[in-house]
Structure 1
Amino acid sequence: MTGNVRRFTDDTNFTKALIVTFAAVLPVLILARTGRFETGFTIAIGVFLAYPADIPSNLKHRAKGLLVASVIVAGCNLLVNVLHPLPWLFYPLITLLVFFLSMISVYGQRATMVSFSGLLAVALATGHLKSGWDILCNAGLLLCGGLIYTAVSLLFNSLSPHRYTELQLAECIRLTAKYMKLRGDLWDANADRAKITEKQLSLQVEINTIHENLREVLLRSHTAEGTSGQTRKMLLVFIYLLEILELALSTSFDHSKLHNAFKGHGKVLDTYQNLAYNLAAALKRVSKRLENKKKYTPKHQLLQDLEAFENAIKEYEAEVGGEAAQEGVWMLTNMLHYAEKQVEKIKIVERAFTQHIDLKDLKGKDRDLEKFLAPEYYPFRTLKENLGFSSTIFRHSLRLTITIALGFIIGLIFPLQNVYWILLTIVVIMRPGYGLTKQRSYQRITGTIIGGIIAFAFLSFVNNTIITGTLSVVCMILGFTFTAINYRIGATFVTMYVIFIYSMLDPNVSDVIQYRIIDTAIGAGLAFVANYFLWPAWEFINQPVYIKKSIEANRDYLNEIALLYNKKEGVNTSYRLARKNAFIEIGNLMQSYQRMTQEPKSKQKQLQQVYKLAVLNHTLLSSLASLGTYIQSHKTTRASEAFNVVVRTVTQNLEHAIALLNMDIPAQTNTENNKQELAMRFTELKNIRSRELQEVHITAEEEFRLRMQEAQLVIEQLVWLNSLSERIVKAAKQLTVVK
């Protein structure tokens, strides 16, 4: 229980909630003592409106984003108040402003949150109109609130500058360990491998998100602020976590085939599974210690686990004996090498938290880091390119603008008390996708109702301003914390602190809240209906794009692996970029699939076929990672022409699938001649062992063994890659046949 409370209070969302609550409450308390409560309250509103733009990054970009958000909030408030007395000018210009603010989301996450702040400011300003000199004063106070939040946020950050990164890193280690645990589950003879694969794909979405957060913080800090020891240490850990994940993914085997091959010798596979579980457990312990800020002491015995697996291989070889054992021993030895590499990398991660480490372990891996980040400039052409119905953001912006216009019209026609609550609800819950908007609509309405019931029940028994004020602050902290974790609970606490605040300002709070519930329901209903009928972004429309990008990323990754095998040079930036993109695109594809499952059944077109392609691409990525990690970690022989022919064939198959998804008319790649040549090349590859024995006099037993392992793994992966690429082409044909 204590551990859960500590994790909750140490969470980044809770810290941000404390910051925004402190920054908002401070001016209210100070100015209320001088009888200027309303001034303090307006400053607090400025704090709340700047808060969404506070997303993780290095100090410079974080401060810049908050300052821009503060200026936009004040500017939007000023514009609404200046234009409101002129209805013929107000409605057209505010409509254009809403559309523009929505469109700036094309520039990425930071721009999206700045856009959100601006839209909230527009909605809120329509309910608190000023006149004369008060217009400038009000805008100035909102700007002041934004500046106060910026200062407080940066101050808190300076008190613990690395804590956010440590928590994100701890989460990254935990998710990586969970992924490795799932890979270990695959070794159960009766494992539900389809279910495990589904869990892996879902986990890949979470891992991609955490990786992007860490890239944003660590890489920008590294490139912008130089090479501080703590930053470089965490960067080192992050880079090795990426390699650990690649290695975990690379243990690509046909588990059913292996269980059949080692039937009667289950001990050797059980020993390997135990080793796989202990690798995951070691990482999980590192994560917990980092999260709890405790000194890490390794308690596992990974080297003994490696030795146990090595002994199990020897026992298997002794039991089977002779030529019959060779194939199995080569397979098992490759598995042993993967485990040795994992132990080596996990030891480096452990060393980072147990002793002073030599940052030379980076070994040039921190070169060209800026290439892994989205550019921090905002060319006009990006906005221009998205001004069309092919852009999801354009359609969302148009949809949001029309929905807000409908909210204005409803407010003019019906005698609603606070029309701006309708607009706020639309801005808060409306998202580009139907599924998330529907989910948020339900969560906001239920949260508002539950929060209203709890707050009114409390107020019916307690009528003490100090207690109510204290509870409003507590609910504010919990509301901001849970909004990012569980939106329904967040909406419940937000409603409670709004009611508590209104109860201190207005004795007729029950009337006010009744209108709030009605307005919230109207706003949620408008958002829900608009997302269904106004240029909806159904996922089945975009699915071919996500599938195509995933196949393209895998193709590029394969080309980099082939280049590495042919040139025998070290891993360069282009290889790492290709690997990164392959991981990201498979996560994006799975995320799109998950969104589709939230949509109406009638819109879930070819759902199973999409999932099948996601699984095939994930399996292909796993096989590529297996081949890539082997080449990186072993001294390999010269790449044969047969290897390159098979790689070209796999590439052609993937390009064929891409052409099908593009609705192009592709050239037929699987001609009879191509099939015959490929069969010959596989025969050639399978004769590598005898050919090398004839061409080269291998005297050292270790060198002979290594060449046999290389031949076995490379052949196995090439055969598997070709089979997967053909299945992807077939699945792509089935997906496009309905179109």
Structure 2
Amino acid sequence: MSNYLQPFIKIKAFARSTDFSKALLITIGVIAPMMLGYYLDHLSMGIAVGTGVIFSSPSSISGSLRNKRIGILLSALIATLVSFTGAYIPHSLLFQLPYLGLMTFILAFLAVYGFRASLVGFSGLFALVLSFANISSVDMAPYERSLLIGLGGVLYFVITALYDILAPKKQVDELLETAIDLCAGYIEARGKFLNRSVKRDAGLKKLFAVQSEFNEHLEKLREILLDSRHSSGTSSYYRNRFLVLGELVDLSELALTSPIPPVKMHEILGKYEHSLQAFVHLNRMQTQALKQIAHTDFKKKKVDLSNLKNALGQSQEIVSKMNSKEVESEDYIIFQNLSVLQENQTQRILNIAQILDRNKTDTKNIATNPKELEGFITKQDYSFQILLNNFTRSSPIFRHALRIAVVTVLGFGLGSLFKLQNPYWILLTIIVIMRPSYGLTKERSKNRIIGTLIGAVLATLIVYFIRDVMLYRILAVCSFTMALATLQKNYRTAAFFITLSIIFGYALLRPDILNVIQFRVVDTLAGAGLAALANFFFWPTREVKGLKNNLADSLIANRNYLEVISSHYETKEQIQTQYKLARKKAFLATANLNAAIQRLLQEPASSGQLTGKLYELVVLNHAFLGALASMGAYLRNHNTTHIEDVFISYKSQILQNLDAAIFLIQKNNAPLESSFSVESIEDTVAATYVADERNEAHILTAQLRWLKNLSEDFNKQLKQLNS
């Protein structure tokens, strides 16, 4: 029965989503002025205002309300200025092409200031392209149309501000729900490795994708919650969301942990199939519990977590029945520690459910010092120096801006030369599809073409067999809303609805609609083809160099994470903000590296000769972070006092290996090697441990040896890469 209801549940979730709400707001902002203009016999004025709403909407994405509002106003201002200047360019290719190329480069280059800035630049590009179409400019002076476009931006600003006042918690709730759902997927992906039910590469690619998206959502949540904390104070709602965020971060750390290296772990677990299946079952229950929590409205009902608690009890009972006669002492230690890790992981899930339960109060405190909290936000540098630093061919954004400028000039020139009906459609396709990397552009080109073709076929059938103006109006508006709602999540679907909305819109104005459909398809194919070819031939941005930089950043972050773990071990102090901040940076750097390798895997084979070696380095880095997380989690949950000498000795060697690896990446040659050994120190103290000391010695020594081996493997792989 639940399978039959699943589509309806998805439709309901989509209708309640922020994307759909935003699409409705834009639709209202566009349609209302047009209807008013139509009834007042000033339709062109209504179209200009509606166009301004569209121009100002792209930068209205999840994040700080302050940044979102600044983005909307900047988009409106840039669109107004671009529309005004574009109207006074002479209608001659001699003037139009240089202007088009220069403005395209400037607007695309704004992407150096981050994703939101790139969307502000896209608003300018959109306005630039439509300034060549002369929409709604028949009976208006250029300055009047430009001012009305600016008015449309102000209108959208007011609409979104009112919506934020009426639904202040919607964005946070949706991001939190998605983050919990992604965390469930992350634990599920990790659990498949525990049971060895997935091939390594397939499992890692899935894990990398989920981890990158999960960390992206955590970053947005941090930014929004801190921004809300400044504006709304420490209300119980935001305090509880901060607590859930903290639990999710801890949960992601625990999900990455393993008491000992995974290969050895699988070897031991494989000897006790019944015990292993108990932990596999517990992992499934953890995943199900998180998905339940993510999709439950705590105002209406509670989450039943009895299955999770029962699964935890079963795994604990199995471990408690193990004794030295049945199980080797080393194996028993591993199962003990695995049980503790799973218990802590389960407790985090129970904590999340309790915090979100409105009928219960949570007495935990979070950091009250705003300076401490602000350290967790990745702030964008908006200085002029960023522009100067990126004004070089080595910058991917510079090459992208140059490439898109050349292609727009080429596209508009060809469209004008062959006298295509709407050459600006080629430009629209180019600016929407083109991305800095080849893989993303190729994927968007494919989705754009498929979505456009399907939309064109369906629209052709409808307009050919049905002649109903009212139906066209309804379908145009509904398609426009659906296109906006799906634009960020599924570009193929968005292209399908965009095509429908354009064709039905033209069907209201022109009798030769079949010709419009034909030109729409031709222009889309031309624009998509130019975009894909340009990314391949014109100053291509390959991910190899960028990935090496990401790898260096990740190793530096991991080094800092290890230093903080070491400081905690040596001082025996409680976990401080410094530890959490170092952990956050290490996880985020690894997520960025994982995203980079996924982009690299999309590049053509001719540029992927080093892909195999680079992929193995990314896998090593992921394993290294897992080892660090394992050690950090162990130290946080155990009183450790016994092997300082071994710990410090191992740490020194690991740090030295990391420094050498970073040097190899940045300088492409190896530093002087040193002969340093920790085995003698390890051997002299190993014989003296008993009981808990033996447990600590075994687990920590295994984890330290694991880190040391991984750091050595880094250097071996990098030397092969540079040879």
TM norm structure 1: 0.91
Q: 1:254 & 1:305 partners in 2: Cα distance?
A: 25
Query: Over residues 554-608 of structure 1, what are the superposed CA-to-partner deviations in whole Å (9 max), with x where a residue is unaligned?
Result: 2221111111111222323332222122212222222222212222111112222
Q: 2:282 & 2:446 partners in 1: Cα distance?
A: 45
Q: Partner of 1:182 in structure 2?
A: 189
Query: Over residues 513-535 of structure 1, what are the superposed CA-to-partner deviations in whole Å (9 max), with x where a residue is unaligned?
Result: 32232222222222122111111
Structure 1 residue 640: deviation in Å?
Answer: 1.7
Query: Over residues 433-482 of structure 1, what are the superposed CA-to-partner deviations in whole Å (9 max), with x where a residue is unaligned?
Result: 11111222222223222212211211122222211101111111111122
Q: 1:342 & 1:684 partners in 2: Cα distance?
A: 35
Q: Partner of 2:711 in structure 1?
A: 725
RMSD: 2.4
CA contact (8 A) 1:452 1:513 kept: yes
**Count of matched residue positions in the alignment of Structure 1 and Structure 2:** 715
CA contact (8 A) 1:688 1:711 kept: no
Q: Partner of 1:110 in structure 2?
A: 116
Q: 1:480 & 1:372 partners in 2: Cα distance?
A: 32
After superposing the two structures, state which structure 1 stretch, 558-567 or 310-319, moved more. Answer: 310-319
- 1:605 is paired with a residue of what secondary structure? coil
Match of 1:310 among 309, 316, 338: 316
Instruction: Establish whether residue 596 from structure 1 lines up as the match of residue 600 from structure 2.
Output: yes
Structure 1 residue 226: deviation in Å?
Answer: 2.5
Q: 2:464 & 2:139 partners in 1: Cα distance?
A: 41
Query: Over residues 50-96 of structure 1, what are the superposed CA-to-partner deviations in whole Å (9 max), with x where a residue is unaligned?
Result: 11110122332222211111111111100111233687665544433
Query: Over residues 681-738 of structure 1, what are the superposed CA-to-partner deviations in whole Å (9 max), with x where a residue is unaligned?
Result: 3324534516xxxxxxxxxxxxxx433322221111011111111111111112222x
* C-alpha spacing 1:189/1:239, structure 2 compared with 1 (3 Å): closer
Instruction: Establish whether residue 95 from structure 1 lines up as the match of residue 98 from structure 2.
Output: no
Q: Partner of 2:500 in structure 1?
A: 496
Q: 2:626 & 2:369 partners in 1: Cα distance?
A: 22
Q: Partner of 1:353 in structure 2?
A: 356
CA contact (8 A) 2:643 2:697 kept: no
Instruction: Establish whether residue 59 from structure 1 lines up as the match of residue 45 from structure 2.
Output: no
Q: 1:189 & 1:438 partners in 2: Cα distance?
A: 34
Structure 1 residue 639: deviation in Å?
Answer: 5.5
* C-alpha spacing 1:160/1:201, structure 2 compared with 1 (3 Å): same
Q: Partner of 2:277 in structure 1?
A: 270
Q: Which amino acid aligns with 1:564?
A: H
Q: Which aligned pairs between 1:173-212 and structure 2 lie closer than 5 A?
A: 173-188=180-195, 192-212=199-219
Q: Which aligned pairs between 1:318-717 and structure 2 lie closer than 5 A?
A: 319-320=325-326, 325-354=328-357, 355-358=359-362, 360-362=364-366, 368-375=372-379, 378-637=382-641, 640-669=644-673, 671=674, 673-674=675-676, 677-687=677-687, 689=689, 705-717=691-703
After superposing the two structures, state which structure 1 stretch, 544-553 or 558-567, moved more. Answer: 544-553
Instruction: Establish whether residue 159 from structure 1 lines up as the match of residue 166 from structure 2.
Output: yes
Structure 1 residue 149: deviation in Å?
Answer: 1.6
Query: Over residues 332-368 of structure 1, what are the superposed CA-to-partner deviations in whole Å (9 max), with x where a residue is unaligned?
Result: 2222222232233222211122233235343669761
Instruction: Establish whether residue 79 from structure 1 lines up as the match of residue 85 from structure 2.
Output: yes
Q: 2:590 & 2:193 partners in 1: Cα distance?
A: 20
Structure 1 residue 375: deviation in Å?
Answer: 2.7
* C-alpha spacing 1:335/1:367, structure 2 compared with 1 (3 Å): farther
CA contact (8 A) 1:236 1:359 kept: no
Q: Which amino acid aligns with 1:621?
A: L
Q: Partner of 1:222 in structure 2?
A: 229
- 1:569 is paired with a residue of what secondary structure? coil
* C-alpha spacing 1:262/1:188, structure 2 compared with 1 (3 Å): closer
CA contact (8 A) 2:240 2:356 kept: no
Q: 1:501 & 1:304 partners in 2: Cα distance?
A: 58
- 1:485 is paired with a residue of what secondary structure? coil
- 1:372 is paired with a residue of what secondary structure? coil
CA contact (8 A) 1:472 1:498 kept: yes
Structure 1 residue 328: deviation in Å?
Answer: 2.7
Q: Partner of 2:3 in structure 1?
A: none
Structure 1 residue 275: deviation in Å?
Answer: 2.4
Query: Over residues 32-62 of structure 1, what are the superposed CA-to-partner deviations in whole Å (9 max), with x where a residue is unaligned?
Result: 1222222212221111111111012233222
Q: Which amino acid aligns with 2:647?
A: F
Q: Which amino acid aligns with 2:109?
A: M
Q: 2:124 & 2:678 partners in 1: Cα distance?
A: 59
Q: 2:276 & 2:450 partners in 1: Cα distance?
A: 51
Structure 2 unpaired stretches of 5+: 1-6
* C-alpha spacing 1:561/1:441, structure 2 compared with 1 (3 Å): same
Q: Which aligned pairs between 1:269-308 and structure 2 lie closer than 5 A?
A: 269-290=276-297, 294-308=300-314
- 1:53 is paired with a residue of what secondary structure? coil
Q: Partner of 2:4 in structure 1?
A: none
Q: Partner of 1:695 in structure 2?
A: none
Q: 1:689 & 1:81 partners in 2: Cα distance?
A: 82
Q: 1:135 & 1:260 partners in 2: Cα distance?
A: 74
* C-alpha spacing 1:716/1:502, structure 2 compared with 1 (3 Å): same
CA contact (8 A) 1:272 1:309 kept: yes
* C-alpha spacing 1:578/1:685, structure 2 compared with 1 (3 Å): farther
CA contact (8 A) 2:460 2:517 kept: no
- 2:194 is paired with a residue of what secondary structure? coil
Q: Partner of 1:702 in structure 2?
A: none
Q: 2:307 & 2:428 partners in 1: Cα distance?
A: 56
Query: Over residues 473-520 of structure 1, what are the superposed CA-to-partner deviations in whole Å (9 max), with x where a residue is unaligned?
Result: 111111112222221221111111111111111112222332232222
Q: Which amino acid aligns with 2:102?
A: L
Instruction: Establish whether residue 45 from structure 1 lines up as the match of residue 48 from structure 2.
Output: no
Q: 2:609 & 2:369 partners in 1: Cα distance?
A: 43
- 2:133 is paired with a residue of what secondary structure? coil
Q: Which amino acid aligns with 2:117?
A: A
TM norm structure 2: 0.93
- 1:309 is paired with a residue of what secondary structure? helix
Q: 1:659 & 1:264 partners in 2: Cα distance?
A: 42
Structure 1 residue 420: deviation in Å?
Answer: 1.5
Q: 1:206 & 1:189 partners in 2: Cα distance?
A: 24
Q: 1:120 & 1:163 partners in 2: Cα distance?
A: 29
Q: Which amino acid aligns with 2:711?
A: S
* C-alpha spacing 1:85/1:274, structure 2 compared with 1 (3 Å): closer
Q: Which amino acid aligns with 2:703?
A: Q
Structure 1 residue 373: deviation in Å?
Answer: 1.9
- 2:141 is paired with a residue of what secondary structure? helix
* C-alpha spacing 1:440/1:623, structure 2 compared with 1 (3 Å): same
CA contact (8 A) 2:259 2:338 kept: no
Q: 1:513 & 1:187 partners in 2: Cα distance?
A: 53
CA contact (8 A) 1:57 1:221 kept: no
Q: 1:573 & 1:131 partners in 2: Cα distance?
A: 61
Structure 1 residue 132: deviation in Å?
Answer: 9.8
* C-alpha spacing 1:75/1:540, structure 2 compared with 1 (3 Å): same
* C-alpha spacing 1:540/1:506, structure 2 compared with 1 (3 Å): same
* C-alpha spacing 1:6/1:308, structure 2 compared with 1 (3 Å): same
Q: Partner of 1:120 in structure 2?
A: 126
CA contact (8 A) 1:220 1:370 kept: no
